[in-house]
A and B are shown apart, each in its own frame.
Chain A
Amino acid sequence: MNAPHHPFSRRDFLRVTTLAGGGFALSLALPPEAWAEVGQALDDTAKFFTPGPFIKITPEGIITILAKNPETGQGIKTSLPMIIAEELDVDFSTVVIEQAALRKDVGPQFAGGSRSTPDNYLRMRQAGATARAMLIEAAAQIWQVRPTELSTDQGKVIHAASGRSLTYGQLATKAATLPLPAENTIKLKRDDSFRLLGSRVGGVDNPLIVTGRAEFGIDQKLPGLVYAALEKCPVFGGKVVSANLERIKALPGVLDAFVIEGTDNINGLLPGVAIIARSTWAAFSAKRQLQIVWDESAAPGHSTEAYAGQAAILAAAGGTNIRREGDVVAAMATASKVVTGTYFYPFLNHATLEPQGCTAWARDGGIEFWTTSQTPGSGQELVASTLKISKEKLKLNLVRAGGGFGRRLANDYLVEAAAIALRTHGAPVKLTWTREDDMRHCFYRPAGFHFLKGAIDAQGRLSAWHNHFVTFGYKNTERPASSASLSPDELPARFIPNFELEQSIIPTIVPTGPMRAPGSNGLAFVMQSFIDELAHAAGRDPVEFRLELLGNDRVVPPAAGQRGNPYDVGRMKAVIALAAEKSGWGQALPRGQGRGVAFHFSHAGYVALVAEVMVTTDGTLTVRQVTAAVDVGPIINLSGAENQVQGSIIDGISMAWLQEITHDRGRTVQSNFNDYPLLRSTETPAMSVNFIQSKNPPTGLGEPVYPAVPPAICNAIFAATGHRIRQLPINKTDLRWS
């Protein structure tokens, strides 16, 4: 991302405005430095750099805190306002939390890369602390005392010496007249005096959710609302030749049907046939009766089988070198053991429980949206450029999403709703995808093949590693597709003296994109499984072997030229040790039961997992227990954090055990939850979640746990049965043993 680097003055990001009717609002926007690293989730909202209101206190004492980022189930609508409330010193349960629309004055608004917490933590604290300081100053002036004699307590300023107190509401109008205090006078709380941060706080929308009143994307209600469905070509890149539009338009409840020509941007508006109707069901029914002639010539011969064949050929031929250190060939030649393994993980769909969709209302030359996008700023740009409407005329309301997982980093549904809204003669329209649409039109987690060779030296140490990574490029063989690349720094690179990494690329027409812990979510399975193979080959304990591989506590920098995070070995070893301890690692288990360990570093989080499984002789797998040890620095909301870890574990088991997207003749084979399953309640293991709250800056938790789950499970299956899982999902492998 190109962060704008104009000179930054504090006045630009903190500003006081007097509210009509008294009270004041404190505004904050992020300086450019804070936007620098947003991982896979780049969003153009970074261009906005004007201040906007975060805290609003009325004379009546109503305290409103703005939740700036999209809520997709990661809990950010609760946790970011908590940070402000902590420094402001108010009772969080009395605060009104308001979801921000897309606006220009609150800094970047996106949900991705587990960046919301690290990017906003300090600024949210400063916003809260500055407001608190101004309320103290207001009281000091009213009482004619020094501010240092005053303290605050949950929404009140107190003068202990005289026993007087005033509520923030009583002080609001006075505070609104004060100048912004100098930055060096603002004192942040000491971490050990936090009352709210680190505690368990329920999601702010819970009371609405449990009564069915929370409004998700699909729930928007507007006067005169009409309903839309959209049929796109099941073959990627297909175009509409003709469709039985007249017959569709004559169906009951159907208002219009038309062809959307679409553009060549796979992340944008794709060709299809849209139906506008008086109800969702009328639109869905009509969609089923569509007869469309498609031009499918863009996708000859693309299938899962063909890709596997191409991978084998590429592997035999050798690839482009990505990293080379030491002398792998020599180390292999002198090794006491050499192990080879071919690993594969499939394409995946995010399968958010709320299918994609969007409500849009075209009026007065502009369009208003109610969207679940994780990158609303990019969505606004996409609509503007595709439909040639000025950005200023596109208003985006951010609506609670029924899951994100990276699917809503794309804005295809948004531009589709916009295109349809231009055809409703001023009526608002709600576009709803069917589950089948959602399964077949995704930016899939890319599949990957790894052809591995590792060596153990005479001392039983991992001495050499060779990986030929066969990945996918979107319609090319030069550049990996979105989320299909492997960093030359990915572990065990930097930790093995003799290391070689090659890459080959299969051209694909399947759209790919980031999914929860992109890249990591497939790579951790491969690296942590193969390390496990090597540990067993060396006759070593898998935990010990890993700790030895990591070596002395130190911070390992990214290789020259690489953008990756430094790797804090001490933090990683600490979570491995904690997971081992909490899981009873080393205690004997009966045959058919086993423990597996895996660790992974991604999104600035350090994670180790131990899984315990049972496999009966007839091959039935039960995941009994997963123990997690996690260091993402201080925890903001303990309840939400635990939820994210448990959710990532369940998600990781679903992916490892059950899920794969396959392709045939250029289209996705799976259609719904019957052939793309999610884990169910009866398959849920016991989970133990353990945090090491190290004194590092807090980082996000939506992603880093997920990648370590599959290898922990697979390594446990090996321990239980001797079956080494080299291909996901696990249910492809016969686990019977005797």
Chain B
Amino acid sequence: MPTYNLKVNGAVHKIEAVADTPLLWVLRDQLELTGTKFGCGIGQCGACTIHINGVPARSCQTPISTVGAMLITTIEGLSPDGSHPLQKAWCTHDVPQCGYCQAGQIMSAAAFLQSNPTPSDQEIDSAMAGNLCRCGTYLRIRTAVKDAAKSMQNGGRP
């Protein structure tokens, strides 16, 4: 079985896995980083969203063989202590219902705010359109993203 040196959340992990193994299952089963969720396995729901070199990616659609030395960030590595403005805004606005989609939502939003720090409502909705929420928390997601954008403008550390 091939081995890979995976850079996840600032640490390097030596991983043995079949080349077509989606990064999702390496993170979840081998590294026990279960914050990244499985929802569909076909790139439809966004529950498995992570960052690869800061860009949002669907980990269920990312074979481990394609990752190389790129930097992977998961929800567990978004901030050391849950203090990312998005994480705080998510709590302030009580966004989660079941919560299953929310790691993916936050990872999509975090990458989005890097590229668009002052988004409109429409821009937020478009950026988040790849992340399904079965429980229907979209309005609160929009509010929380806006709130986090504002606090980042005011110097809140991303």
Does B126 interact with chain A (Cβ within 8 Å)?
Answer: yes
Cβ-defined contact, A647 with B97, below 8 A: yes
CA distance A122 to B129 in the complex (A): 42
Known: A213-B76, A352-B134. A684 touches B87 (CB 8 A): no
Mask: chain A, 670-710; 1 = CB below 8 Å from B; 0 = not = 00111000111110101100000000000000000000000
| Shortest Cβ distance from residue B70 to the other chain A in the assembled complex, whole angstroms | 20
Which residues of B sit under 8 angstroms from A681, Cβ to Cβ? 124-126, 128-129, 131, 133, 138, 141-142
Cβ-defined contact, B42 with A435, below 8 A: yes
Cβ-defined contact, A209 with B132, below 8 A: no
CA distance A735 to B99 in the complex (A): 35
Cβ-defined contact, A207 with B91, below 8 A: yes
CA distance A517 to B103 in the complex (A): 28
Cβ-defined contact, A206 with B41, below 8 A: no
Which residues of A sit under 8 angstroms from B82, Cβ to Cβ? 207, 210-211
| Cβ < 8 Å to B, chain A residues 356-414 | 400-405
Cβ-defined contact, B37 with A252, below 8 A: no
| Cβ < 8 Å to A, chain B residues 1-46 | 1, 17-18, 20-22, 25, 28-30, 32-42, 44-45
Does B52 interact with chain A (Cβ within 8 Å)?
Answer: no
Does A353 interact with chain B (Cβ within 8 Å)?
Answer: yes
Does A280 interact with chain B (Cβ within 8 Å)?
Answer: yes
Binds B, one of A2-10, A197-205, A444-452, A488-496: A197-205
Which of B36, B99, B103, B133 has most chain A Cβ within 10 Å? B99
Which residues of B sit under 8 angstroms from A353, Cβ to Cβ? 37, 39, 45, 47, 98, 100-101, 132-135
Cβ-defined contact, B90 with A648, below 8 A: no
Cβ-defined contact, A673 with B45, below 8 A: yes
Which residues of A sit under 8 angstroms from B78, Cβ to Cβ? 211
| Shortest Cβ distance from residue A413 to the other chain B in the assembled complex, whole angstroms | 15
Cβ-defined contact, B34 with A209, below 8 A: no
Which residues of A sit under 8 angstroms from B99, Cβ to Cβ? 73, 203, 205-206, 209, 214, 216, 400, 402
A281 contacts which of B25, B90, B142 (Cβ < 8 Å)?
A: B25
| Cβ < 8 Å to B, chain A residues 208-247 | 209-216, 218-219, 221, 227
Main secondary structure of the interface of B (DSSP, over half): loop
Known: A203-B94, A210-B91, A353-B133. A673 touches B40 (CB 8 A): yes
B136 contacts which of A212, A352, A401, A646 (Cβ < 8 Å)?
A: A646
Cβ-defined contact, A650 with B136, below 8 A: yes
A402 contacts which of B32, B37, B129 (Cβ < 8 Å)?
A: B37
Does B150 interact with chain A (Cβ within 8 Å)?
Answer: no
Known: A73-B98, A203-B96, A403-B100. A252 touches B140 (CB 8 A): no
Which residues of B sit under 8 angstroms from A210, Cβ to Cβ? 75, 82, 86-87, 90-91, 96, 102-103, 106
Interface size on A, residues (CB 8 A): 66
| Cβ < 8 Å to B, chain A residues 639-688 | 639-640, 643-644, 646-651, 672-674, 678-682, 684, 686-687
Which residues of A sit under 8 angstroms from B39, Cβ to Cβ? 353-355, 435, 673
| Shortest Cβ distance from residue B103 to the other chain A in the assembled complex, whole angstroms | 5
Mask: chain A, 40-81; 1 = CB below 8 Å from B; 0 = not = 000000000000000000000000000000001111000000
A280 contacts which of B28, B35, B44, B75 (Cβ < 8 Å)?
A: B28
CA distance A206 to B144 in the complex (A): 13
Cβ-defined contact, A355 with B38, below 8 A: yes
Known: A206-B90, A647-B137, A681-B142. A402 touches B42 (CB 8 A): no
For chains A and B in complex, what number of residue pairs have CB atoms within 8 angstroms?
Answer: 203
Closest chain B residue, CB of each to CB of A74 = B97
Known: A352-B134, A354-B98, A432-B38. A212 touches B76 (CB 8 A): yes
A206 contacts which of B42, B74, B94 (Cβ < 8 Å)?
A: B94
B91 contacts which of A202, A401, A647, A672 (Cβ < 8 Å)?
A: A202
Does A497 interact with chain B (Cβ within 8 Å)?
Answer: no
Which of A253, A643, A679, A687 has most chain B Cβ within 10 Å? A643
Which of B18, B86, B136, B140 has most chain A Cβ within 10 Å? B136
Mask: chain B, 113-154; 1 = CB below 8 Å from A; 0 = not = 000000000001110110111111111111000000000000
CA distance A405 to B78 in the complex (A): 31
| Shortest Cβ distance from residue B151 to the other chain A in the assembled complex, whole angstroms | 15
Closest chain A residue, CB of each to CB of B106 = A210
| Cβ < 8 Å to B, chain A residues 282-306 | 282, 284-285
Which residues of A sit under 8 angstroms from B41, Cβ to Cβ? 284, 434-435, 672
Which residues of A sit under 8 angstroms from B92, Cβ to Cβ? 202
Query: Residues of B with Cβ closer than 8 Å to A?
Result: 1, 17-18, 20-22, 25, 28-30, 32-42, 44-45, 47, 74-76, 78-79, 82, 86-87, 90-92, 94-103, 106, 124-126, 128-129, 131-142
11 contacts across the A-B interface (CB closer than 8 A) = A202-B92, A210-B87, A210-B90, A216-B99, A646-B136, A672-B41, A678-B134, A680-B132, A682-B126, A682-B129, A684-B139
Q: A216-B37, A673-B45 are in contact. List 18 more A-B contacts (CB 8 A).
A: A211-B35, A218-B34, A252-B18, A279-B17, A279-B21, A353-B47, A353-B101, A353-B135, A354-B100, A400-B99, A404-B98, A639-B94, A640-B94, A646-B140, A673-B39, A681-B124, A681-B142, A684-B139
